[in-house]
Structures are given as C-alpha cells and as structure tokens.
Structure 1
Amino acid sequence: MSVITVENISKQYIIDHQKGKGGTTLRDVITENLKSLIGKKTKTTITHEEFWALKDVNFSIEQGDRVGIVGHNGAGKSTMLKILSKIIQPTTGMVRIKGRVASLLEVGTGFHPELTGRENIYLNGSLLGMSRTEIRKQFDAIVAFAGVEKFLDTPVKRYSSGMYVRLGFAISAHLDPEIMIVDEVLAVGDAEFQKKSLGKMRDNSASGRTIIFVSHNLTAVQALCNKTLYFEKGRLIEQGETNQVIASYISKVSKTRLVRQWDTPKEAPGNDLVRIRRIELVPDYPDNLTHIDVRTPMTLRFEFWNQMDNANLNLSMHLNSLTGECIFNVGTQSQPYGKGLIAAECTIPGYFLNDGSYTISMMVVKDTVTPLFVMEEAITFDVEDYREGIAWYGKWPGYVRPQFPFHIKMLEPVASKQ
C-alpha cells in the first residue's frame, strides 16, 4: 500500500537581481535614503530570475519502506522533504500522504526555545495528535534515548546543537508516527548516537513505519534504506534498490585519476621530511580494453623523495570505497634509508575487487608508528562489471569478488526408480 504518492511536483522560486550603484549593506541603504531626500536617488534596475528547485518529480513510497534520498547540495532533496512535511507548498503537482508524519529537518525544528525539554516533549506530541496519556507512556523512553535527564527542566534555547538533535530525534522516533522524515541533521550527533538512531529507525520500519532519510553519508544510507531516490538539479534521476542507485550516483560523481606526478621536490606535496614525486595505477587491460573491469590486474607505483639522513621508513596503502570505507590496508617492511628517491610497487590481482568506485591513499611512516605524510585519495578509479557463463545479472554483493577454489560434488547418489 502506498503511503506517499508524489505526482508531477515542481517548486519554483523567483530570485531578484539588483543592478545599479545601490548596495544592500546598512551603509548603502542609509546613503540611498539620504540621496532620495535631496533628489539624487541612484537609479537601479531589478531583474527577476526563475529558479526551479524541483521539476516534474514523480514517485511513490510503500508502507514500511526505508527510503534514502541522495544527491549533491542543491539537488532538491531538502525542498522535497519540506513539501512532504507540509512546510512549503509545491508550485505545481500533488502529494498524497496517508498517516501521521514526524519530521526532523534541522536543529530545533518544532521546538519552542523558551520552553523546557519536558514541555517541548508534550508540545511535539500534541502537534502529532497524541493524547497526554500516550505521551506520558513514552516519556521515560524519550528522555533515556536523548540522554538529557539533567537538563530536562532547562529551556531548550540553552541546549547545544547535539542536545537539540538528540531530543528532537527521540521525540520523533518514540511518539508513534506512521511516517518519519529525517534530514542530514543526524550528522550533528556523535558516532554512538548516529548508530543508535539508525538502529531505532530500522526497528521502527520493522514495525510497519515508513522512513525517509536524507544523508550525504552513503554508508548510512546503505545500512538503513532498502530503496533510494537520486536527485540532480531538481529532477529525480533514478529510483530503485539502494545499492544499485548509489552505485549509479557514485559512478556519475566519480572522477578517474590514475596518475599524478611532480618534477621537483619544491613543487611536490609533502613536507621537510618527505616529498611525493609520483603515484600511478597501471592497469593490465585484458583483450585490448580501455577500461578496468573485475578481471583487470593493476600495479600501483609510488615514488617519493626522502630528505632525512637516516630513517626507518615504510609505506602504508589504503584502498577505500568512495563512501569512505577501508577495503584493505597493506604495508611494506620498515627499512633504513638515507636521502634520495625511493620507489615502491604493489600489484592488485584481477578477480579481486568487485565492480564499483574506489580511491587509494598513501602514507609514509617512520619507525612503523609515526606518519610523516598522508596523501588522501591520491588515486581514484572505477571497476566495471564482467561476467561469463553466468545467467544472473543482478548486483554482485560486497566490495571484493575473489575466485577462490570452491568445489562441489555428489556424495551419495540416489538410484532412480525404474
């Protein structure tokens, strides 16, 4: 059953551009007013520009779905959530919502700053249509989840942003909304609170509630959401199963960069101890291909200038997903080196990485414990899919895709009946 139906939603804003000598600072306004009094008002021209924050958006959400919304800043994600939360009205189109909606769109949403935390819990519950008895049943759970016991009778205007978010989320999650809408605001909380919040939203969904979650943390979206919407420049580009949509989104934002080089230590990244000369990922393309796929072996070559007379050095290579998760970390042995150019090489075999987007970061380490320089996301590359002799073409799960020996055989055949 669809609990949210969005039909041809568009949202237009009018942006005014002022041309002329007049400005918009307080000094400019006072100056212009004085000039107008003596008949020397500056002539200004105001032009109007149409800006479509959303354009012809259509989708539906089923009861119990956990839906992520991803896209660049300015893609229209927050505008869509404000329309679903009935904070703003669309310029065109229609939204149908079945059920009670709780929204947490920004720090302090729905709070009265002069009221205490206790009073705001009852206020928010009343706005959701709950009775005082229903709110009282959930009161202790809300306070425990938010961790604001000591400040419960303090006006929320004195709360930190983290306390605001914890209390706001606790109220939204515990007061039994049929539909829960959460924007990037969870990023304000600490790691423990984020983990607890994702778990609570997952539990809510299991009980039949619908979750809509906007975040730039793609790992969090993958962990929580079974479906995802991808917005770009106000338009819905793709919708569907989360891993597939995020892979598509990442592939569009990924920029392949296989080699970086600096000719002299003076211009190279680094510091007084080490400077990077070159880092390169060299694919061994099969069948005269020009792109990396799951079969492709790759060799990483790394060169750096050591500017210390005598130091025990080793390298550490981190291969990460584009969402920031470390897939693996491999390092060289630590050895003593004098001043000069040092080179290292490492091969990533074919049939090891799954299709997806990856980055490589390099670290130069002294005495196995002291990082001298870290080169974040030095290499960026995409691995394309390839299958042979397999009729199934769904998304292959995981970040690695090795071909380990895996044998199967018949142990006790059963004689067929004649």
Structure 2
Amino acid sequence: MDLGIENVLLNGQLSNIYVKNAKIEYIGSEKKSAIKTINAQNKAAVPSLVNGHTHAAMTLFRGYGDDMKLQEWLQQKIWPREALLTPEDIYWGTKLACLEMIKCGVTLFNDMYWHNREAVKAVEEMGIRAFISEIFIDIPGMQTKKHDEKAQEALNDFKNYDPRIKLTLGPHAIYTCETQTLEFVKTFAQQNNIPVHIHLSETKKEIDDCIAQHGKRPVHYLEEIGFFEADVIAAHCVWLQNEELDILKQRNVKIIHNPIANFKLAVGELLPYTEIKNRKIPFCLGTDGCASNNNLDIFEEIKFAALVHKWKINDPTIMNCNEVWHAATTTAHKIFDIDAGEIKQGKLADFLLVDLNHPQMVPCHNLTSNLVYAGNGSIVDTVICNGQIVMENRYVSGEEEIILQAKKVTKKLFSR
C-alpha cells in the first residue's frame, strides 16, 4: 500500500484506511503494511471539501475595496487594478489561495481568473485539483485574442497538464459578454465536452439591464440562445423566479451558492433554497474571491449557508447539518464529476483528518453537527488528495516561501 491511516474514526467506528494508486483500496479492522502510515488516533476521517466558485489569485486583493456597492467596487477598484496584474502576481496569488484552501480542507476548487496558465502551474505544484476557466469577456482592452483562438489554444494546452487540472470555459456574465460570444462558448463547449462556468442572476441591476436590453430575464435570455445546451455551472443565482428554476432543472444546470460574498456585497436576495431543493437542482458552496469574502474558509460558508436559510425561512429544520455537509462534499464532487466526496473503497483518495481534540470539536455528540456549526478550517489536521499527503499536522510544504512571495508581489502590485 502507498498510504495507511490507522486508528481513525470513520462513520462512528475506529477503522484503518489504506490507499493505493490514488484510490482507497481497503477500509476495515485489519492492519496492512504501507510505505507511509499515519497513526490517526483522536482524529476523524471525513470527505474533503470543494470550493465551487472562486477567483483564486484575488487573495492579493484581500481587504482592498471593502464596503462598496458591487458595480462601483468593480469599476473603481477591482478592474483598474486587475489590469496591472502580471503572470508572476497570478502565480503567487494562486499559490497563496491553494495554501489557504488546503488549510481549510479543500482539495478541489473551481476558478475563474486571468493568466490562467500561471494558475495551472501553481495548482500542479500544490497537489490539489482545480477546474480552471478560460475567460471570455467583451470589455475593450481585456481580451487580446479572438475567442475561437483562445478556446482552441486552451483546449490544446490543457491536454498536457496534470489530470488533476481540468479546463472550463468562463464567459464572465451576460453583462460582460455579447450574445455571439455566449453562443460561441456554448457551441465550443458542446463540441469538446467542456463545462461552462458563469456568473448568473447575481444582482437586481443584472436583471433590470437584461430586461431592458433583451426584453426578458437572464435565464430566459440564455435559454432563448441555447446557452444551457452546454454543461453549465452557474455561480450565485439569487435573483431567480420559479419559471427560471424550472428551466435550470430541465437543463441540468448546477448552482454554486456563495452566501457570504452575496451578503457582503448586499446583492439584495438569497438563493431560493426551498425551491431548489424541491426541484432537486444540484448545488454546492463557494467562497467567491477574497476581495468579496474575504477568506477562502469553506467551513464558514457551510455554517453561514445553514444559518441564513433557517433565518430567511423562519424554520430551524431547514438546511440541517446533514443536508449542507452532503452538498459541500458528496454533491459538490458529483457536480464536477470527480469520483470522491465519500470515503469508500474504490473512491479517489481525497479526504481529511480532523482533530477531535481541537477545542471546537469537544465534546462530540454529533460529528457532522460539529463540522457544520462548531468548527472552522483550523480543525483540519491532515489533507490527502489523489492519494498524496498535501498537509500533515497542519503543515504544508513550502508555506513560508508562499507567504513571503505573496507579500512581495502584493507590495509591487499596489505601488504600480
């Protein structure tokens, strides 16, 4: 065996887990020899987490431009400074994001940001999984190549990267992409079996502007142009009506819920959870970028989601701890077609060891309850991705250099 995890709490029982060739080979009471063995006494094995929507290198913008309205924030703070980003900035900003997410138990994230080949390099080195978007945006000066050239180059390049890293097409939003761009993305994605990652129905202004320009709401507009014929992963989705939800269900659209960023930017609505649940539309959780959150701790997102829907619906039984944990783990991995999210024989070896002696985990009447309502990223002791240890005893190899270099590039970026 490549890796052994012994004396670990799994599904309420002490067990041994053995990993071979990136998959879980054995779970049970027997002890087997392994190249590396971890004594996981006082630890529990749980599935790893997914950050379904983020802009990783925006770690460099953490705390910059807070407490502003969304459009003003984008136009006055974010877009002008983003225009100054270099590939080196993106590389170290993404490595910092990977470090933070690993510390919080994330082994897979869905990213949309500039200079994505540098993001690929960072993820390859950090040892986790990522879906990396090739961005499409029709704002003057933000695109230097034709859309078809960009898409084909990305498709060719990503064939040469580590299999842990997958390509998505990322039309930013309906308000930054022309109709012909959205139609091209849909067609190219269909032809090449690539997922599409887009911001959708995030603000009332987006809705109002779409009605003014196209005579209909965003989901109806995208349905009319055939956009949902592609495999669409839609972030935010807070301003939705029942007819739009019916379309998303019919078209198998997956939703990424980003409650903290939505609340911080005061988008004015909340994901219609009850209606989504009733239609069995798959959703998972995302942090958005650090400029609008301001961290990548998906545990915070999980807790916040559970609490805010109870408050909104005035029902403490809504989005219970089992539902939201399942969404953040099992459903999240299914959304991205990764054979993990459960610790079972034959599954990919992507899982966590959480510290049962951490103060936030004591006492432990109900492990899932503690994970959702009590813990945060600091309870994660060890992270295993693709059968490899990427964090052990809360240490990630090279973390000191990442923090040092992230500080350096941030200083340069904000002095330009």
Of structures 1 and 2, the one scoring higher in RCO (CA 8 A, sep 6+) is 2
The TM-score with structure 2 as length reference comes to: 0.28
For the pair shown, which has the larger CA radius of gyration, 1 or 2?
1
More helix by share: 2
- Pick the structure with more strand per residue: 1
The TM-score, its normalising length taken from structure 1, stands at 0.28
